């Protein structure tokens, strides 16, 4: 259930930002590398004016390249360091494909709030985890009870 907030700056925008393509790319990369469900992935995209974004004290409007910052929230402990590293590399490459000349000082920040401090639909991720574990335990326990019960007359 990640939430992605992408801020993009293009040096001289030619037409509207391709938000649909960027969203599709980010959702696909998030599913592929972080194993997140696309139907639970939310994306917000904002475009920043090139004179309002600077790197090294120089506005991007004068550097003639694009930049981005992607901030993604995922539940703490749901991904390995290697998965996150591959995701960061894939996002950079994917946004380079979409935006063209990309400044190397473009960022991906993966926030990992604790499961009891993050959720959607009014439920925390911790609640969902515990409920799922109890459901599995209940099904498993019912199976064990059946195996230990003497056969009924109908089953004989």
Per residue in 18-61, pLDDT (tens digit) is: 999 999 999 999 999 999 999 999 999 999 999 999 999 999 98
Q: Are 19 and 89 members of one domain?
A: yes
Range scoring the smallest mean pLDDT among 80-84, 89-93, 143-147: 143-147
Q: Are 36 and 80 members of one domain?
A: yes
Average pLDDT for 106-110: 98
Q: Are 134 and 125 in contact (CB under 8 A)?
A: no
What residue numbers bound the domain in which 143 lies?
122-156
Q: Which two tokens stand for residue 116?
A: 């009891």
Its pTM stands at: 0.84
Q: Are 91 and 133 members of one domain?
A: no
Phi, psi of 138 (to 5 degrees): -65, -45
Q: What is the per-residue pLDDT for 75?
A: 96
Q: How far apart are CA 99 and CA 14, in angstroms?
A: 11
Residue among 92, 112, 97 at smallest CA distance from 1: 112
* 149 pLDDT more than 60: no
Question: How many distinct structural domains can be found in the chain?
Answer: 2
Range scoring the smallest mean pLDDT among 85-99, 113-127, 140-154: 140-154
Q: Are 67 and 25 members of one domain?
A: yes
**Which residues partner with 120 through β-bridges?**
123
pLDDT 10s digits, 53-80: 999 999 998 999 999 999 999 999 999 9
State the average pLDDT for the chain: 90
Q: What is the per-residue pLDDT for 67?
A: 97
At residue 11, the 3 state secondary structure works out as coil
Residue among 28, 16, 13 at smallest CA distance from 91: 28
Q: Are 97 and 128 members of one domain?
A: no
Q: Are 61 and 98 members of one domain?
A: yes
């Amino acid at each position: 259930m990640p939430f992605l907030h992408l801020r993009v700056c293009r040096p001289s925008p030619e037409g509207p930002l391709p938000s649909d393509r960027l969203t599709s790319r980010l959702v696909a990369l998030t599913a592929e590398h972080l194993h997140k469900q696309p139907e639970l992935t939310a994306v917000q995209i904002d475009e920043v004016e090139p004179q309002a974004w600077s790197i090294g004290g120089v506005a991007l409007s004068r550097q003639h390249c694009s930049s981005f910052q992607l901030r993604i929230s995922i539940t703490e402990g749901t991904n390995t360091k290697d998965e996150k590293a591959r995701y960061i590399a894939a996002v950079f490459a994917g946004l380079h494909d979409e935006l063209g000349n990309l400044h190397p000082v473009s960022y991906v920040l993966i926030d990992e709030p604790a499961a009891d401090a993050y959720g959607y639909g009014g439920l925390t991720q911790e609640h969902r985890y515990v409920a799922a574990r109890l459901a599995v335990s209940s099904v498993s326990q019912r199976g064990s009870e059946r195996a230990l019960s003497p056969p009924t007359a109908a089953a004989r």
